[in-house]
Amino acid sequence: MTGPAPVVGIVGAAGAVGAAAVAELHRRGRHALRLAGRRRAPLDALCHGLTATDGSPPTAEVLDIADTDALHRYCAGCDVVLNCAGPAYLVEDRVARAALAAGADYVDAAGDDVLWEQARALSARAPGRTAVISAGMMPGLSALLPRYLAATLPDPPRALLGYLGGRDRFTATAAADYLRVGEGFGQAGAALTGGVRARHPLPTRTDAELPFFPEPATAVPYLSTELERVARALGVTDATWHSVFAGPHVAQVLRQPPAGGNAPEALRRAAELDAFGRATYQLIVVELTTVAGAAHTLVLRGDSASSLTGAFAAVAVAALTEGTLAAGLHHAGEALDPQLAVDLLADSAAVSGLTVFDGEAAHAGGHVEEAL
């Protein structure tokens, strides 16, 4: 890299995802970081907790994204703005709008089909600027990893089977977004068969033994619009994906969310109970079967969805500032070069294992869990 380090503004920097993204970007030391959030104390604590590097230390500033003028001034001083503030359904395109209007590029750690449509209109009015959304665990890694695995295969893939989840905490913010995820991202119970949505919904399985998962868990079949696009791009005609939750309390809340506005808090508390005294983990297991009938499996393991999301958002920022993305609007998991992204992820503190095996997940998963 020559010239001054690109200035990256991180909005919502002191949140669970934001702090993970900041840690990754700071560790790499290739950007000047401007941390922003509503409250001074957590930002200062985050700055003080970062180990010194040779690069310039991050700066911190108080910013409420509801203050449109302040947000615009902040964005005008950045080369890239990374949004980690949430919940995404309330933030919508507020930060993207300010960043692109101020001449900065944009990355969002979240983003569903609603944000895509909003950002498409903004991007059309900002020629030369790059915007990358859905740079999280799902959506995000859930698209990148099948593309990465497909690129390692000797033959084109025909079928995809995936599991994503684990035993983990939810922030209230992520819980609020998760409980609304059906609105504009996909359909529970759906899958692709022969290139079309299967006619009959697949059931949710409870206490299911799942490959690589160290304990029985709830597996919810879920067909996202992201997975449909990836399947189409790879030539995959049969695709089944599962969101996985280990722990009885989360399973109970998902089965019967409390009525009214209490559901996000109930989900946060249930996850806290399930995680109490236990190590949290997240797994992404992707199995691709080629047209020749050979199965290959990829497994990624991390401690939490927040840290994996922050790590992938940081990878998207790196890919953008290294000039590997054309101007325009992109989904991170579908646009980033899979090899570049996986190399960066493998080096990240958020990822504790990333391995590709020959064979079916159900076969390989029974034998190698300890090695991860």
Ligand X SMILES: NC(=O)c1ccc[n+]([C@@H]2O[C@H](COP(=O)([O-])OP(=O)(O)OC[C@H]3O[C@@H](n4cnc5c(N)ncnc54)[C@H](OP(=O)(O)O)[C@@H]3O)[C@@H](O)[C@H]2O)c1
Residues that bind ligand X (CB under 6 A): 12, 14-18, 37-39, 63-66, 84-88, 109-110, 136-138, 140, 171, 173-174, 177, 305-306, 309
State which residue, 312 or 357, has the beta carbon closest to ligand X. Answer: 312
State which residue, 16 or 271, has the beta carbon closest to ligand X. Answer: 16
Q: Give the nearest distance from C-beta 261 to ligand X in angstroms.
A: 16
Q: Give the nearest distance from C-beta 164 to ligand X in angstroms.
A: 9
Residue with nearest beta carbon to ligand X: 15
State which residue, 99 or 364, has the beta carbon closest to ligand X. Answer: 99
State which residue, 92 or 238, has the beta carbon closest to ligand X. Answer: 92
Q: Give the nearest distance from C-beta 46 to ligand X in angstroms.
A: 10
Q: Give the nearest distance from C-beta 147 to ligand X in angstroms.
A: 17
State which residue, 226 or 287, has the beta carbon closest to ligand X. Answer: 226
Q: Give the nearest distance from C-beta 163 to ligand X in angstroms.
A: 14
State which residue, 129 or 331, has the beta carbon closest to ligand X. Answer: 331
State which residue, 15 or 221, has the beta carbon closest to ligand X. Answer: 15
User: 150, 295 in Cβ contact below 8 A?
Assistant: no
Q: Give the nearest distance from C-beta 54 to ligand X in angstroms.
A: 28
Q: Give the nearest distance from C-beta 24 to ligand X in angstroms.
A: 14
